[in-house]
């Protein structure tokens, strides 16, 4: 029996929409309407828009944000946008002394980040129909003024006749895209509002500058007929990018194959788990309006860590920086076999290793680890997000940036309302198709701050 069912796919190519079905091809062309030349918003139009923004609910309640937006807008309108630097804002808006040091005071960055969020919230709500957009691009303190982009009406006619089923499919696709975009925009607005559990936990990092440290281990690039990039945990007196002989502590199978070859040390790589964790944590700090610094484990030094909170995102292997942190109290990593152990009372030690599917070899369970402890300087904190695999680090970061997970962790550690000031916890990370499927608390406890 012959089926009349057809699979229809709608996709966009430039200004053309191509609709494809089995045995049928229809091309629809919607010519783009040439946009009329339009002058940028003038001084009067920008000033009127700034007044509208500053009279909105989101700005009436914040004198600091109001003063900041007025200052940025006025300087840009006066043609002095190049003067808008962190030091200028510190002195003229926030009343800081002339010797203001942005390395130890993130007030300016934090408030400009909040301003960006408030402007975005305004244009998603009260200012949804405003004709002029004022925005402060990331990486700059000089605002931009532009007209809101209008949706160009569909013009022209179909180049070829479109059957009824094609029209219905095109309409359904348009509705689906519209729903998707509406959901995305509302999701963007919601993401800027941190839940109480997440905000309560990370607010303890916002009183001082925070440095996020991620792993970038050393690799050896073998220069031979068969190139090889090898993760290397040894030490070398050579500098990065310098051609060196093969290290004497290289594994036997490597030495046999690459004996006599020269190698280059490289530290420009990291693991996917660290990347995912950096993204998740940066989003939390951004949504909270707080600045966060970023440094890798090869280049971080004691001076950078002084008087700063630290968030260390990394498996412990091939990571010399972790050795500078205080020893763990409840757990210990065995770097030789990618295992973490619960020390426990005498005779109750338990080891945890990643588990794999017997037939496919795919990882199905791995173990993440988190610890909150006093920092390297008095009055600071260190948060470790680690695990026995990159996937475990990713899972631990997802857990520590989700409200429900932080509430679960608080209950497991004995307080349903908030997390203690010092704790260590093991997390069970379930994997499916190489992705984090679920993360749950396994065991852990409050710890006593090291003296």
Name the pTM for this structure: 0.54
Identify any residues that bridge with 438 across adjacent strands, giving them in sequence order: 430
Q: What are phi and psi of 415, to 5 degrees?
A: -145, 115
For residue 27, which of 157, 155, 130, 139 has the smallest C-alpha distance? 157
Give the separation between CA 387 and CA 442, rounded to whole angstroms: 13
pLDDT band at 162, cuts 50/70/90? Answer: very low
Give the separation between CA 424 and CA 326, rounded to whole angstroms: 13
pLDDT band at 171, cuts 50/70/90? Answer: very low
Over residues 47-88, the pLDDT tens digits come to 999 999 999 988 988 888 999 999 999 999 998 888 898 889
Give the separation between CA 344 and CA 138, rounded to whole angstroms: 48
Comparing 136 with 158, the larger pLDDT belongs to 136
Give the separation between CA 251 and CA 315, rounded to whole angstroms: 22
SS3 of 315, please? Answer: coil
The Cα angle at residue 70 between residues 68 and 76, in degrees rounded to 5? 100
For residue 289, which of 202, 211, 417, 187 has the smallest C-alpha distance? 202
Over residues 77-128, the pLDDT tens digits come to 998 888 898 889 989 998 888 888 877 888 888 889 889 989 988 988 888 8
CA-CA-CA-CA torsion sign (277, 281, 282, 283): positive
pLDDT at 149 over 60: yes
Produce one character per residue of 21-47: b if its CB has 16 or more CB atoms within 10 Å, e if not.
Answer: beeeebebebeeeeeeeeeebeeeebb
Give the separation between CA 174 and CA 185, rounded to whole angstroms: 16
Half-sphere exposure of 20 (CA within 13 A, CB side): 6
Domain ranges in the chain?
A: 9-35+152-191, 43-147, 218-266, 271-446
Half-sphere exposure of 196 (CA within 13 A, CB side): 5
């Amino acid at each position: 029996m012959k089926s009349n069912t057809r699979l229809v796919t709608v996709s966009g190519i430039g200004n053309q929409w191509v609709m494809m079905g089995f045995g049928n091809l229809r091309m629809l062309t919607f010519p783009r309407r040439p946009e009329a030349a339009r002058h940028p918003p003038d001084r009067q139009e920008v000033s009127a828009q700034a007044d509208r923004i500053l009279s909105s609910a989101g700005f009436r309640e914040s004198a600091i944000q109001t003063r900041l937006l007025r200052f940025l807008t006025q300087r840009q309108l006066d043609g002095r946008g190049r003067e808008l630097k962190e030091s200028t804002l510190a002195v003229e808006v926030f009343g800081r002394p002339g010797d203001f040091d942005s390395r130890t005071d993130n007030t300016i960055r934090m408030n400009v980040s909040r301003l960006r969020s408030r402007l975005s919230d305004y244009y998603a709500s009260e200012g949804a129909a405003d004709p002029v957009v004022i925005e402060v691009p990331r990486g700059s303190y000089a605002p931009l003024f532009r007209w809101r982009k209008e949706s160009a009406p569909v013009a022209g006619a179909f180049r070829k006749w479109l059957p009824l089923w094609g029209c219905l499919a095109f309409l359904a696709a348009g509705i689906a895209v519209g729903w998707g975009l509406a959901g995305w925009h509302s999701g963007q607005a919601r993401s800027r509002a941190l839940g109480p559990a997440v905000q309560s936990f990370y607010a303890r990092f916002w009183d001082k500058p925070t440095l996020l440290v991620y792993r970038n281990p050393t690799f050896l690039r073998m220069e031979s007929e068969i190139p090889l990039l090898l993760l290397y945990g040894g030490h070398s007196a050579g500098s990065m990018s310098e051609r060196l002989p093969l290290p004497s502590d290289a594994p036997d199978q490597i030495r046999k194959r690459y004996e006599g070859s020269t190698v280059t040390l490289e530290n420009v790589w990291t693991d996917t788990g660290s990347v995912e964790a950096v993204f998740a944590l940066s989003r939390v700090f951004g949504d909270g309006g707080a600045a966060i610094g970023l440094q890798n484990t090869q280049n971080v030094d004691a001076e950078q860590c002084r008087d700063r909170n630290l968030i260390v995102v990394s498996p412990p292997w091939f990571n010399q920086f972790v050795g500078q942190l205080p020893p763990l109290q409840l757990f210990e990593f065995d770097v030789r076999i990618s295992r973490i152990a619960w020390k426990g009372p005498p005779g109750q030690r338990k080891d945890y290793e990643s588990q794999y599917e017997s037939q496919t070899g795919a990882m199905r369970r791995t173990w993440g680890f988190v610890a909150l402890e006093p920092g390297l300087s008095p009055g600071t904190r260190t948060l470790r997000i680690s695990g026995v695999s990159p996937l475990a680090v990713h899972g631990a970061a997802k857990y520590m940036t989700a409200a429900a997970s932080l509430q679960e962790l608080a209950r497991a550690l004995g307080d349903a309302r908030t997390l203690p000031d010092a704790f260590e916890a093991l997390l069970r990370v379930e994997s499916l198709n190489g992705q984090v499927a679920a993360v749950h608390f396994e065991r852990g406890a409050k710890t006593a701050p090291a003296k």
